[in-house]
Structure 1
Amino acid sequence: MQLPEPQVAVLNAASATEETPIDRLAAAAELEPEAATRAVFELRDEGLLEVAERETVEYEPTDEGRTYVDSGLPETRLYRAAVGAGAGASADEDAVSMGQVIGAADLAGDAVDIALANFGRKGYGNIDSGDLSVDPEADPEADPEADALAALVADEAVDTVDNEVLDRLVSRNLAARRDRTERSATLTDAGVTALMEGVETAETVDRLTPELLTSGEWEDVEFADYNVEADAPAVQGGTTHVLRQAAERVTDVLVGMGFQEMDGPHADADFWINDCLFMPQDHPARTHWDRFALDTPPIDDLPADLVDRVESAHREGVGADGDGYHSPWSEEFARAVALRGHTTSLSMRYLSGERVGDLDPPRRFFSVEKVYRNDTLDATHLLEFFQIEGWVMAEDLSVRDLMGTFVEFYEQFGITDIQFKPHYNPYTEPSFELFGRHPTTGELIEIGNSGMFRDEVLDPLGVDHDVMAWGLALERLAMLTTGTEDIRDLHGTLADLEFLRGAEVTY
């Protein structure tokens, strides 16, 4: 029998009495692992080898886990520091200050939260009103998580460790789990017979070269057979992210509708983000619970005359019927820097002339940029997301013009069931929300907010024309075009990579 050289080498390295892992076969046959794997499956297809597959799980410590093996888990350090500070078993007697213990344990940053969370979970003691007490019966020295982590760092077997302990280490990012498929090969009776009868190396070539063609040797050589059904390693090539596809499509559509693109800072003065929008400074959305304020020096280069006009609109209103808010207004707060909660800050910069100078109607501008909000994470909300900002300045605009713009825009994505709901915004009147029907669940989900800018917004900016504006959610649009039901599948730490690799965009 004649076989290609790699198959002959693997066949001679295999055993009829014990399973031999492919990596050992590769070493014995002096082949690369990929070449040995290919040869094993080719021999299996010829009936000369049997291949067994076993799923195995391996764990390895992370860099953070290695650090804690040397210094101790944060909760263990907290317990020892509390005992050293004289903490007892009662919150009323012998309790010590949590701040004192944290300092003694040399904990800082995220390690503090980690220590406090696991201190209670492991029953090391109690925390009450800033005081900490310990359970004298607790034994941190016998902590199974610490023991398992130490074993991983020492490269010791963890076969006897409870899976729940290992899973806990993985969830704490102290260990990484690796699922592997281990393949082993055994000679079949036919393989043993072939070896006994003698196996010779066939002189084969695996590709047609220019030299073979010019010399004419291609007529005499034997070409290797290719098994197109053989297993091969999965290769994931790069691709454009679903959200990037959607953003590029949005840009193409809006440019085709005559819009120009805006850009501007992610961190900006609260003046541009909210004050110019006639948002009162005591509005709930402007508290530290909802906005991401930055500990940076305030912005000094605001247009002084515009600041005065915006303050006047807030305090006194605009026009004969304007009344303003009669609420506190602080220029210091207006100059404070925060991450923008919407890209309407760009619209304010452009409409005011600060960005590109005075604009004459008709003008259309848009942006597809990231914004930041302290929302509760769920299937339709993230802390940061992309907003499709847009506005049109022209004479005699109406809500019908705004609705017609949305109909034309969303039709480009195959979305025709758009519904409108009246809404209140401090900066637009009239205002309405947009809803689209999810292609999988059939539910209506909110996809944007819009309206006609009020005089209290436009007058301080020096704009005496109608302006209709909107802010649409790019991720919500992607949910409608891909059918995903959870926004967290699209991006973030919980993104579904398999979904992203195979997601079909319907527009």
Structure 2
Amino acid sequence: MKLPASQVAVIEAASADEAQTIDQLASATGEKPETVTGAAFDLEADGLVSIEEEVKESVELTEEGQAYLDDGLPEVRLYEAALELGAADEPVSMGQAIGASGLDGAAVDIALSNYARKGYGVIDSGEITADPAADPAADAEAAALAAIETQQTDAIDAETLDQLDHRGLVDRSERTVRSVRLTDDGVTALMEGVEAAETVDRLTPELLTSGEWAEVEFTEYNVEADAPEYGGGKEHILRQTANRVKDVLVGMGFQEMGGPHVDADFWINDCLFMPQDHPARTHWDRFAMDNPREIDELPADLVERVERAHREGVGEHGDGYHSPWDEDFARALALRGHTTSLSTRYLSGEQVGELEPPQRFFSVEKVYRNDTLDPTHLLEFFQIEGWVMAEDLSVRDLMGTFEEFYAQFGITDIEFKPHYNPYTEPSFELFGTHPETGELIEIGNSGIFREEMLEPLGVECDVMAWGLALERLLMLIYGFEDIRDVHGTLCDLELLRETEVMY
């Protein structure tokens, strides 16, 4: 029997008594695994071998997982530090415990989010306790990391493995392992003798010019042979949604704003009539710049009007805050915590010159907040900023705008809740119902800008405004329950590849 050389090599290396994997046959024949696979499929089609398939999962530590295996899980390190400080007897300062643990950056948020979940203690009002009965040596996730490094994964329970995967500490992949065994016909063929046939795998110019193409045997093309999978690049679903938002707002008559990600506190907060001693303006909630520390120039007349509004108020009955106001603080640079800094630049005329009503502007840009990571919060996210400048605006106008906007995405059950903002009155938050959990989730904040904010900016008519969360809109559209699966360093790439875009 004449067979292609690769098939001869495989049938001679295969056994009728014991199934051999493709990798084993590749090693025995010196052929590439994909060549062996193709040959095995051809031999199976001729009834000379049988092929068995088994799907196996492999698990490997990510770089972060390896670091935690070497240095300890952040929550375990925090527990051990708190225990050392006496937190088993009475609460200690959370800052003191974090400092003693040696944790910094994102590891602090990770430790805090897992500390109570694992029963190591309680974190409340800036203090931390340590449960003396907790046993870090019995931490299932720490034990699983060690087992994965030594490939002892059979003992790891599915829930622990899922948690490690969710935390981005492991890479999981599935592969199909094929094993080949000689059939009775294959054994008979070997006994009768097989030899390699002269075959070629492609038609070349030389074969055509010499005429040899008519004499040679061409290798059959096997469409079932294994081939590596490549995930093609495509636009991220969050960017797709952002572009849809822009299209909707442009269709509603809005123009797009743009401006700096790093800006002075003056534009970010002072122009919003936000007092300088407001808790949201402390170093705990903002990302201040170290170099450079402050903006070079601010419009002096506007600074004077904004300071006067803070100190004295605006109008006959205005009273101001009677709290400290310092221009040096106003000049301090920080990553913007909201894109309303763009609104103050535009409304003041600083960005594009003086604006005459009516006007509609929006932006869909990134903002930065020192929040604790959880399923609905990130340290950086996208905000849908918008405002309308016109005469005699009311809350009905604002609510109607939201209903029209969200209806474009199939969301018709928006709920409103009265709220307090230093810069709007009246104010209200927006909520939507999560399509999977049925829970109400906050999707934005809005209101009518106060006179104390608008008068210093030189605006003499009403302005209604809002800041909506793009990621929360994404959750309502697609039913995602954890935004970290979609956006950030822990995102689920397979989820992003498989999610069907909805219009």
Q: Which of 207, 232, 235 is equivalent to 2:230?
A: 235
The question of whether the paired residues in 1 share the 8 Å contact of 2:37 and 2:225 is answered with no
Q: Is the aligned partner of 1:22 residue 2:17? A: no
Sort the Cα spacing of 1:458 and 1:212 in 2 relative to 1 into closer, same or farther, 3 A.
farther
Partner Cα distance (2:225, 2:67) in 1 = 44
Matched, 1:401 2:397: yes
Kept after mapping to 1: 8 A contact 2:383/2:468: yes
Residue of structure 1 equivalent to 2:476: 480
Residue in 2 aligned with 1:250?
245
> What are the superposed Cα offsets for residues 149-193 of structure 1, whole Å, 9 maximum, x if unpaired?
99999xxx76699869x98xx899999777665443232222222
Matches within 5 A, 1:61-140: none
Query: Pick from 346, 366, 373: which aligns with 1:370?
Result: 366
1:272 counterpart = 2:267: yes
Contact 2:267 2:341 in 1 (8 A): yes
Deviations along 1:333-363, whole A, 9 cap, x unmatched? 2222222111101111111122222222222
| Counterparts of 1:457 and 1:2, CA distance in 2 | 89
Contact conserved, 1:212 with 1:218, CA < 8 A, in 2? yes
- Kindly tell me: are residues 308 and 231 of structure 1, through their superposed partners in 2, closer, same or farther at Cα, counting changes over 3 Å? same
Who is 1:457 aligned against?
A: 453
Contact map agreement 1:481 1:505 (CA 8 A) in 2 = no
Contact 1:414 1:506 in 2 (8 A): no
CA drift at 1:272: 1.0
Aligned residues of 2:168 and 2:490 also touching (Cα < 8 A): no
**Worse-matched range after superposition: 251-260 or 60-69:** 60-69
Percent sequence identity is 71
Tell me the equivalent position of 1:426: 422
Q: Is the 8 A contact 1:148 1:161 kept in 2?
A: no
Deviation at 1:237, TM superposition (A): 1.4
Q: Which residue of 2 aligns with 1:126?
A: none
Instruction: Report deviation, 1:475.
Output: 0.6
Task: Tell me, in whole angstroms, the C-alpha distance in 2 between the residues paired with 1:445 and 1:70.
Answer: 38
Contact 1:281/1:329 (<8 A) preserved: yes
Change (3 A) 1:482 1:460: same
| Residue 58 of structure 1: how far off its partner (Å) | 6.7
Q: Distance in 1 between matches of 2:362 and 2:142?
A: 54
Query: Structure 1 residues 419, 2: CA separation in 2 closer, same or farther (over 3 Å shift)?
Result: farther
Q: CA deviation at 1:368?
A: 0.8
For residue 474 of structure 1, report the CA deviation from its aligned partner: 0.5
Shift of residue 258, structure 1, vs aligned partner: 2.5
Residues 144 and 156 of structure 2 are in contact (CA less than 8 Å); yes or no, is this contact kept in structure 1? no
Structural RMSD (CA): 5.0
- 1:18-73 deviations in whole A, cap 9, x for unaligned? 44332342344443322222322343344332345566677778778999999999
> CA 1:25–1:457 in structure 2 vs 1: closer, same or farther (change >3 Å)?
same
* Residues 5, 402 of structure 1: alpha-carbon distance in 2 compared, 3 angstrom cutoff: farther
Structure-2 residue corresponding to 1:443: 439
Residue of 187, 193, 202 corresponding to 1:198: 193
Secondary structure of 1:425's aligned partner: coil
Q: Distance in 2 between matches of 1:19 and 1:459?
A: 83
Whether the 8 Å CA contact 2:147–2:153 is kept in 1: the answer is no
Deviation at 1:269, TM superposition (A): 1.4
Task: Give the secondary-structure state (helix, strand or coil) at the position aligned to 1:386.
Answer: strand
Helix, strand or coil: the match of 2:246? helix
- Counterpart-to-counterpart distance in 2, 1:350 and 1:180: 55
Paired letter, 1:475: E
Residue identity opposite 1:194 in structure 2: A
> Which residue identity lines up with residue 20 of structure 2 in the other structure?
T
Counterpart residue number, 1:320: 316
Alignment-derived partner of residue 298 in structure 1: 294
How many residues are treated as equivalent by the alignment?
482
Shift of 1:424: 2.0
Letter in 2 for 1:438: H
Is the contact made by 2:38 and 2:222 (CA closer than 8 Å) also made in structure 1? no
- 1:344 corresponds to which of 333, 340, 343: 340
Matched residue type, 2:183: T
In structure 1, the gaps of 5 or more residues are: 75-86, 93-98, 122-128, 130-139
C-alpha displacement of 1:425: 1.5
Helix, strand or coil at the partner of 1:431: strand
The residue number in structure 2 matching 1:133 is: none
Say if 1:29 and 1:469 are closer, same or farther in 2 by CA, change over 3 A.
same
Q: Distance in 2 between matches of 1:72 and 1:480?
A: 37
- The one-letter amino acid of 2:244's match is R
* CA 1:211–1:400: 2 relative to 1, 3 Å: farther
Bigger Cα displacement from structure 2, 10-19 vs 448-457: 10-19
TM-score (norm 1): 0.75
> Of 172, 181, 189, which residue of structure 1 is paired with 2:184?
189
Residue correspondence of structure 1 range 156-167 to structure 2 within 5 A: none
CA spacing shift, 1:484–1:66, aligned 2, 3 Å: closer
CA distance in 1 between partners of 2:194 and 2:57 (Å): 37
Alignment partners' CA distance in 2, 1:12 and 1:399: 82
